[in-house]
Structure 1
Amino acid sequence: MPLYADLPARRTRQVVGDAGCLLVVVASVLAGRAVHAAVAGVADPARRFADGSTALADGLRSTGGSLGRAPLVGDDVAGLLDRSADSAASLARAAGEQRDAVLHLATVLGLLTALLPVLLVVGVRVVQRLRWAARARDARRLAGTAAGDRVLALRALQRRPGRVLLAVDPDPAGGWLTGDARVVADLADLELAALGVRRVTAART
């Protein structure tokens, strides 16, 4: 299956279109990364709070363990510090969950920002290129058969603008109906040129 046209004009348009598609992909990926970084930045305060609360809980437990050995009030002070440490740990868990939720949102938004344009643009481009490749392949096969010119000429009559057809002959449809070899061949060449396909010289004879 052909990837690019034989004729320079059509091939250039295809290359430019493919390059534009590639630029959209690159721009979408960069935009997705920027969105991810921006949203993930919102999680920084929650991360710092979680780290601070965890450090506070650890410090309170360590202090409680040390004071628990003190006579008379050691157990009471240790219990109070342990309860305070549990509260700090709960705050750390809540902040950690908030941080994880924001990071998950950042990942989802970043992927959506990057993938949606890529899937849309690349999907449309791939369909266009596959359709052209199938038509170009069929046109090449038809141009190499005895009756292929008539089929290609008929396609030209169906698809090409009237002013282009009239440049071939004042009555292109009549020439095709009567089997005028020149009109049929010129119409076939018109369809091949529109597809960017170069006729093999031997096929014309």
Structure 2
Amino acid sequence: MKLYSDFAPRRTRQIVADVVAVALIAVSIAMGILVFSVVNELARFGRQMQDAGAGLQSSMTDVGGRLGGIPLIGESIRDPFDAASSAGETLQSAGQTEQDLILRAATALGIGVAAVPILILLLVWLLPRIRFATRATRTRQMIRVGLDVDLLALRALTNQKVGAIARIDPDPLGAWRRRDPEVMRQLANLELRSIGIRVP
């Protein structure tokens, strides 16, 4: 797999782009983790509510149990404490629900903050890099098995910009049909250079 151009200026740009892209991916992941941590910190109110509810439930159950043991009046005194214990359980459940909701929100926001820039970066940076590597690798393999100047020149006529071709010859197609060796060589060089391969 050919990852980088044979030509120093383009290779330098590719390396710099790769380093910047990896750094931006790392920053995006760090930002996603930071957002998750900040939003998830709001769950401490839910934890406090859950702890308070658990404490209230436990206390009221204990007090109700003790007072319930008093002969004659125990059962009637116990009822309000049982109701308070039930309220503590409700508070505990509400605290747990709040924590669950905040965790889901923190996860969604954290992933969103990290994923959106990474997806954009992959479209802008990774797809062109994959196209370059695929095209350069395939062309180099074709050269090894005998891709000739004629076919490379034809590919230049179909792939390259008209202005770049016109600088080689005012009538490049006519020169290709006449098999002008100099024009064919220059067109082949133009095609190879655009792919990032130095002329063998």
Corresponding residue number in structure 1 for 2:20: 20
Q: CA deviation at 1:181?
A: 0.8
Q: Aligned letter for 1:117?
A: P
C-alpha spacing 1:153/1:75, structure 2 compared with 1 (3 Å): same
Corresponding residue number in structure 1 for 2:2: 2
Corresponding residue number in structure 1 for 2:32: 32
Matched, 1:170 2:180: no
Which structure 2 residue ranges, 5 or more long, are not aligned? none
Q: Secondary structure in 2 aligned to 1:199?
A: coil
CA contact (8 A) 2:40 2:106 kept: yes
Q: Distance in 1 between matches of 2:144 and 2:41?
A: 63
Q: Distance in 1 between matches of 2:145 and 2:185?
A: 12
1:15-164 equivalence runs, <5 A: 15-144=15-144, 148-164=148-164
TM, length-normalised to structure 1: 0.87
Q: Distance in 2 between matches of 1:188 and 1:197?
A: 11
More displaced 10-residue stretch of structure 1: 185-194 or 109-118: 109-118
Matched, 1:195 2:165: no
Q: Which segments of structure 1 move beyond 4 Å, counting only runs of 4 or more?
A: 144-147
**Identical amino acids, percent of aligned pairs:** 33
Q: Distance in 1 between matches of 2:103 and 2:84?
A: 29
Q: Aligned letter for 2:84?
A: S
Q: CA deviation at 1:142?
A: 4.1
CA contact (8 A) 1:143 1:199 kept: no
Q: Aligned letter for 1:132?
A: F
C-alpha distance after superposition, 1:40-79 (max 9, x if no partner): 1222222211111111111111111222222332222222
Q: Aligned letter for 2:153?
A: A
Q: CA deviation at 1:149?
A: 1.3
Q: How many residues align?
A: 200
CA contact (8 A) 2:49 2:94 kept: no
C-alpha distance after superposition, 1:97-140 (max 9, x if no partner): 12211111111221122123223422553322222122212322
Q: Distance in 2 between matches of 1:141 and 1:58?
A: 76
Q: Aligned letter for 2:86?
A: D
C-alpha spacing 1:104/1:53, structure 2 compared with 1 (3 Å): same
CA contact (8 A) 1:10 1:195 kept: no
- Across the aligned residues of Structure 1 and Structure 2, the Cα RMSD in angstroms comes to 2.0
Q: Secondary structure in 2 aligned to 1:16?
A: helix
